[in-house]
């Protein structure tokens, strides 16, 4: 007699196996050149990642519906952006497939001052991680455009390591 695995169990097993702890949904890794792209900030200004060479850049992939993102953002503002915004540094919140009005409201609710970029269709996100793998992740890019640190979710220990890496890069 055949035994059937309930669909929800099969789906859970498939999802847990599709994201190994080593990649956590990323399709890039430390040491890779950061994939280049052009983004539009909520101000209407456009930036190309490759034009930011010479700066340390953090891409914070986020969304208004993400509770973990909301938990992390005040820490990014206070511990990453404010101490470094006047250095050769740029932190950009890249919002996962939400319209400008929603992103602006999100930014106001979170009381953040770092720039936010729109990511229609999550196309920028898709250059760095599998689209189904979820937001709340940071990509730290050195002055030469190389990925040097990757985070996933908000883990205080990992966050502190990221802050240490940013500080090291800015010395």
Is residue 59 exposed (0-12), middle (13-18) or buried (19+ Cβ within 10 Å)? buried
pTM value is: 0.87
More confident residue, 134 or 58: 58
Length of the chain: 171
Q: How confident is the model at residue 16 (pLDDT cuts 50, 70, 90)?
A: very low
Residue 154 to residue 82: CA distance in whole angstroms: 19
Q: How far apart are CA 159 and CA 79, in angstroms?
A: 10
Under the banding of pLDDT at 50, 70 and 90, the label for residue 23 is confident
Contact 129, 137 (CB under 8 A): yes
| Domains (range + CATH), the chain | 21-170 (3.40.30.10)
Distance of CA 106 to the CA centre of its chain: 16
Is 60 exceeded by the pLDDT of residue 21? no
Mean pLDDT of 18-22: 50
Give the integer Cα–Cα distance in Å for 99 and 118: 7
Per-residue pLDDT of 68-100, as tens digits, reads 999 999 999 999 999 999 999 999 999 999 999
């Amino acid at each position: 007699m055949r035994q059937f695995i309930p669909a929800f169990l099969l789906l859970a097993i498939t999802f847990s196996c599709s994201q190994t702890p080593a990649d956590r949904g990323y399709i890039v890794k430390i040491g890779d050149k950061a994939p280049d792209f052009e983004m539009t900030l909520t101000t209407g200004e456009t930036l190309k990642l490759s034009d930011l060479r010479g700066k340390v850049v953090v891409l914070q992939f986020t969304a208004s519906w993400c509770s973990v993102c909301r938990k992390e953002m005040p820490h990014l503002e206070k511990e990453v952006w404010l101490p470094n915004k006047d250095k050769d540094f740029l932190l950009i919140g890249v919002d996962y497939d939400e319209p400008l009005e929603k992103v602006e409201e999100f930014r106001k609710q979170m009381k953040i001052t770092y720039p936010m970029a729109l990511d229609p269709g999550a196309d920028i996100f898709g250059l760095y991680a599998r689209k189904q793998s979820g937001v709340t992740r940071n990509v730290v890019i050195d002055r030469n455009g190389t990925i040097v640190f990757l985070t996933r979710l908000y883990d205080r220990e990992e966050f502190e390591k990221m802050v240490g890496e940013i500080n090291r890069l800015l010395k």
